[in-house]
Amino acid sequence: MIEFKELVMPIVSMGGLGIAFGGLLAFASQKFEVKNDPRADEINAVLPAANCGGCGYPGCMNYAIAVVDGEEVNKCTVGGPKVAEQVAAIMGVDAVDAGDRKVARVHCNGGVNAVDEYDYQGILSCRAMNLVSGGPKACKNGCLGCGDCQDVCQFGAIKLENGVAEIIAENCTGCQACVKACPKQIITMIPAGQNTVVDCMNNEIGAHVKRNCTVACIACRRCEKACRFDAIHVINNVAVIDYSKCTDCMECWEVCPTGCITANHELKVVAEVIEENCIGCTICAKNCPTECISGELKQVHKVDQTECIGCRICYEKCPKDAIALIPKASPEKLKETA
């Protein structure tokens, strides 16, 4: 028979201690209250509350506190310029341009084009797959297609198509959660407007590369030779584009024999001179890499559109805004592999 005291005492003593400590803490939190800067709360309210860590702080509140302490107002990649403006308004400073927006990119077109080495039966996650001799794909640097990146993406910016993950650039906020989640480390950040991208990270060389995947980079260096801007190089047996030098002229895309370079050819442009603006300064002709712009000094210039590669250099250099970029109407050369 349990005595009444034995039953009640633990409840009373534990409950009593709980109440006593609760009171003590309530008293302490008032007595030792630290007033947060009210601006931090305001900033926290306008931040997207994604707590994604894209800004480099563990959470939105930590970033808000850092802003009050003098951190830049434009670090929130999720909110973008809109939130930067609101934060700047709270802080009473001008929003600085957040710089070029960057989006994630899965550098693999493998999927159904890549050969499987074995039949994987197990947990359907890229991480688990990667532990079994680097996954079932014969190419060891390709997308496994299980969507670990899709699972961590809070913004619905990743879709799985033909066995590879693909970033929907419009939805991507640049939080880099997928970059960290990918066990193959084939997701990188690229400038948002970038059209020409090498979608391969395979650093092996030899005949088996092509056997393993029909759209793999075979390190033939044709793109390197075709590039007039020193923007694409074969580094460690895979072509890598230096986005700061790339002009999106797509010449590498045109020469690539395997189709590992992706580009939307509908975005190919050619230059055209707006005659009423042109003062004949010859700056465009001097800068043109293909020398397709002709014209005497102080005469209206002309662009040979069959030679123009659409590098946009003349467009950027022209002091009078006399160059227009028009879509290249009919691409004479459509690739069979594309």
Work out which of 1, 2, 4, 6 binds other proteins, going by CB under 8 A: 6
State which of positions 188-207 bind other proteins (CB under 8 A).
Answer: none
> Of the listed pieces 6-14, 111-119, 275-283, 314-322, which binds other proteins according to CB under 8 A?
6-14
d(CA 320, CA 323): 8
DSSP H or E segment with residue 91? helix 80-91
* Among the listed residues 21, 82, 294, 321, the single contact to other proteins using CB under 8 A: 21
Per the listing, tokens 């390190």 go with 219
Write down the H helix ranges in 141-280. 148-152, 177-181, 207-212, 222-226, 251-255
Q: Does 70 bind other proteins (CB under 8 A)?
A: no
Q: Does 32 bind other proteins (CB under 8 A)?
A: yes
Tokens standing for 261?
A: 């370079």
Radius of gyration of the chain (CA): 29
Distance of closest approach, residue 20 Cβ to other proteins, in angstroms: 9
Q: Cβ of residue 69: shortest distance to other proteins, in angstroms?
A: 11
Minimum gap (Å) between residue 28 Cβ and other proteins: 5
CB-neighbour burial class of residue 298 (10 A; exposed 0-12, middle 13-18, buried 19+): exposed
Window contacting other proteins (CB under 8 A); options: 15-23, 83-91, 131-139, 302-310: 15-23
- Tell me which of 19, 29, 123, 208 binds other proteins, using CB under 8 A: 29
Rule CB under 8 A: say whether 4 interacts with other proteins: no
Beta-sheet strands, E only, within 141-214: 158-161, 164-167, 187-191, 197-198
Q: Which residues bind other proteins (CB under 8 A)?
A: 5-6, 9-10, 13-14, 17-18, 21, 24-25, 28-29, 32-34
